[in-house]
Amino acid sequence: MPSLRHRVLQASDCPSRLLLDELADKWSVLILAALNEGPLRFNEIKRTLEGITQKALTQTLRRLERNGIVARRVVVASPIAVEYSVTALGKSLKKPLKALYEWTVVYLPEVEEARQTFDKKSVRTPAE
């Protein structure tokens, strides 16, 4: 029987790996953070997440909805609007995502130091 490492890291068709690929990308995490405060309309999410394109937001919301993490609701108003919220399944991600955020707060100084050390080593002097 293959080890967990083999199944997740090496098997491109591993269901866990495929789900991680969809949940752990840049925009999914940020969208979930925004929606954890409460339901938001599409443009409210777009304004909240500086730098996201309409295409990236649409694709990410669809992917999160397909996976049962986010719910989409049409709001009958003038004009008609669409509102997104975190589902019960999506709310189960709040604790692990909060732990990841807290890790970044604690270890950011060490990460920045590692970056500086790496960047200093990576500076190449022109060939004489």
Domains of the chain: residue spans and CATH: 4-91 (1.10.10.10)
What letters, b where the CB count within 10 A reaches 16 and e where it falls short, cover 74-103?
eeeeeeeeebbebeeebeebeeebeeeeee
User: One-letter amino acid identity for 65?
Assistant: E
How far is CA 91 from each of CA 67, 69, 79, rounded to the nearest angstrom?
Answer: 13, 8, 29
According to the model, what pLDDT value does residue 69 have?
97
Q: Which helix (H) or strand (E) holds 81?
A: strand 81-86
Query: Region 41-61: what's the mean pLDDT?
Result: 97
Residue 19 host element (H or E): helix 15-23
Residue 128's pLDDT is 45
The predicted model scores a pTM of 0.79
Question: In angstroms, how far is the first alpha carbon of the chain from the final one?
Answer: 56
Give the pLDDT confidence score for residue 20 in this predicted structure.
Answer: 84
CA distance 125 to 71: 53
Q: Which of 97, 66, 103, 71 is nearest to 84 (CA)?
A: 71
Q: Which of 6-15, 47-56, 97-106 is the least confident region?
A: 6-15
